[in-house]
Structures are given as C-alpha cells and as structure tokens.
Structure 1
Amino acid sequence: MPEVIVYAVEGRTPEQKKMLMQKITTAVHESFGTQPDRIVVQIVEAKADNKTRGGVLYSER
C-alpha cells in the first residue's frame, strides 16, 4: 500500500488539495499498478510563521 505525504504551507483551498490528491493517486496507480483504493495521500500543512526558507519565514515573503 503506497503512501505519499505532501508537506506544504497552509493556504490552498479544499478544491486545490482534493485535485492534487486525486492526481497523485492517478500517478501512483499508473506508475506502480496499485489499485487506487490502496493508495494513501496525506497533506501536512504548516502555518506560514512556522516554516522558513533560507532563514526567512514564509509569512514574511
């Protein structure tokens, strides 16, 4: 059972997240041959003030 975890800064709509999870499921199904109902996709969201890139908070970008 493949499991894909996506880490992202919060702010996407539920529709955007659903679309991403559906496309990842399709890609894993096509690449691995795993049945879609056996594929787990999870989005882990971080607050923009809890994540940095190059030492700069995402909330300050």
Structure 2
Amino acid sequence: MVEMEKLLKEIELLNEKLESLGILGERKEEMLKEFIKVRAATMPTSILKSRISRIKK
C-alpha cells in the first residue's frame, strides 16, 4: 500500500511538471503510460503479481 501511495505521488508530481511545461492531452497521457510501464518493469515480480490480482478482483 505504501508503494502504491509513492507511485501515486510520483504520478501527481509528474502531472504537475507536465502541466507547468504546457504539455497536455494525448502526449501527457502517453508519457504517464510510459512512466507506469517503467515503474512496473522495475518492480519485483511478486509485488506486481499481487497488484494485478487485486486489480482483477
């Protein structure tokens, strides 16, 4: 849960940075998706699997 909160905070900060740069719309969404992919790729598999199973419920 703490890890998820950290991720949400990082996304929020990234959002603010993008908005301050004036990057909005599709590009912003693309960058957020890429950011989430990178975070998921660097996460231990066990944590990732448990999150996926929680989301599917």
TM-score scaled by length of structure 1? 0.46
Q: Which has the larger radius of gyration?
A: 1
TM-score scaled by length of structure 2? 0.48
Greater share of strand: 1
Greater share of helix: 2
Higher relative contact order (CA 8 A, sep 6+): 1
